[in-house]
Amino acid sequence: MDTKSLIFNENLIKKKIFPCNSPLRTSLTDSFFTKAAVLFTIIPHVNKPYELILIHRSNEGTRHRGEMSFPGGKFEPEEDKSLRDTALRETEEEIGVPRSNIRIIGCLDDFPTISKFIVTPFLGLVSNSQELKRDEREVQKILKVPIDFFIKKINFAEQEFEVGGERFPVYYYNYFNEENGQIYTIWGVTGFLITYFIEKIYNVQIGSTKARRPTLNDIIKRHQYLK
C-alpha cells in the first residue's frame, strides 16, 4: 500500500467505524464477562503515516502483565459513569494524557476475550506535540508505532489455538524499537484489534482469513478450558 494512503484521513476512518452510540455497532453485555475499555490511540501527522500509541505493561497487576496493549482497563463503577470514562481515565493514568486533550472520533465493535472481558475500543486522537508520561508502576515503556509497520506482511505472523475442538487465529507483530534496540511482540486482543482495524479501514487482508474472534457463546461454552 502507498505510504500516502496511510496519512491520517479522518473522513475515511469515520466512514468505516461507528459512532459509539450507533445501533449498528456490536455492543455486547453478559454477566459472565467483565466490562473494559481501551483507547485505540492515534497520533495524526501531516506528511507521514499516523502512529498508534501502545504501552508495554509492567509485571505488576493480576492480568496482562508484560504485554503490549492500548491504554485501557476494566470499568470501575466507583470512578466511571461510562465505558468512555474508563478509556479516558485509564489513558490519563497510564500515559499522562488529560482527557481534555483526547478527541474521540468513534468506536469499533465490542470484542469478547478469552480472559472473560468484553472490551469496547474507542478511537481517540492525540496531538503529536502532546507530552506522554508513563505510570511507572503500570507501564514499562510507551511506544509510537507507525501504521505502515502493521501493513507490511513481513512484520506479521499468525498461529491458531484450539479451544474445545475449534480453532481460532492469534495474530503477532514483532516491532523493533530503534531507541533501545528491543523487540516488542504485539499480540492477543491488541494484535487482533489492529488487524481488524486495518482490514476494515483499508480493505486489505492481513491474516489468512478475515479477522475473527471467538463469540460470547464460543467462550461461555468453553469456559472450562479457559480458567
Helix/strand/coil (H/E/C) assignment for every residue in the chain: CCHHHHCCCHHHHHHHCECCCCCCCCCCCCCCCEEEEEEEEEECCCCCCCEEEEEEECCCCCCCCCCEECCEEECCCCCCCCHHHHHHHHHHHHHCCCHHHCEEEEECCCEECCCCEEEEEEEEECCCCCCCCCCCCCEEEEEEEEHHHHHCHHHEEEEEEEECCEEEEEEEEEEEECCCCEEEEECHHHHHHHHHHHHHHHCCCCCCCCCCCCCHHHHHHCHHHCC
Please write the tens of the pLDDT for every residue from 22-47.
999 999 888 889 999 999 999 999 99
> Sign (positive/negative) of CA torsion 201, 187, 51, 117?
positive
- Residue of 20, 32, 137 lying closest to 86 (CA atoms): 20
Contacts of 4 (CB under 8 A, 6+ apart): none
CA distance 54 to 47: 21
**Residue 115 confidence (pLDDT):** 84
Confidence band of 225 (pLDDT split at 50, 70, 90): very low
Radius of gyration of the chain (CA): 17
Provide the residue count of the chain.
227
What pTM did the predictor assign?
0.91
Q: Which of 75-89, 167-181, 210-224 has the lowest mean pLDDT?
A: 210-224
* pLDDT for residue 222: 52
The arithmetic mean of pLDDT across residues 7-21, rounded, is 96
> Domains, the chain, ranges and CATH?
3-225 (3.90.79.10)
Contacts of 26 (CB under 8 A, 6+ apart): 109, 110
Report whether 91 contacts 163 (CB < 8 A). Answer: no
Tens of pLDDT, residue by residue over 44-76, are 999 999 999 999 999 765 555 679 999 999 999
Task: Give tens-digit pLDDT for 102-152.
Answer: 999 999 999 988 888 999 999 999 999 999 999 999 999 999 999 999 999
Quickly state the pLDDT bin for 3 (edges 50, 70, 90): confident
For residue 213, what pLDDT is reported?
62
**Which of the two residues, 60 and 208, has the higher pLDDT score?**
208
Q: Model confidence at 224, in pLDDT bands (50, 70, 90)?
A: very low
Q: Which amino acid is at 25?
A: R
d(CA 4, CA 10): 14
Instruction: Look up residue 173 and give its three cell numbers.
Output: 507483530
pLDDT at 219 (0 to 100)? 65
158-203 pLDDT tens trace = 998 776 677 778 899 999 999 999 999 999 999 999 999 999 999 9
C-alpha grid cell, residue 52: 498508534
- Angstrom distance (rounded) from CA 115 to CA 34: 9
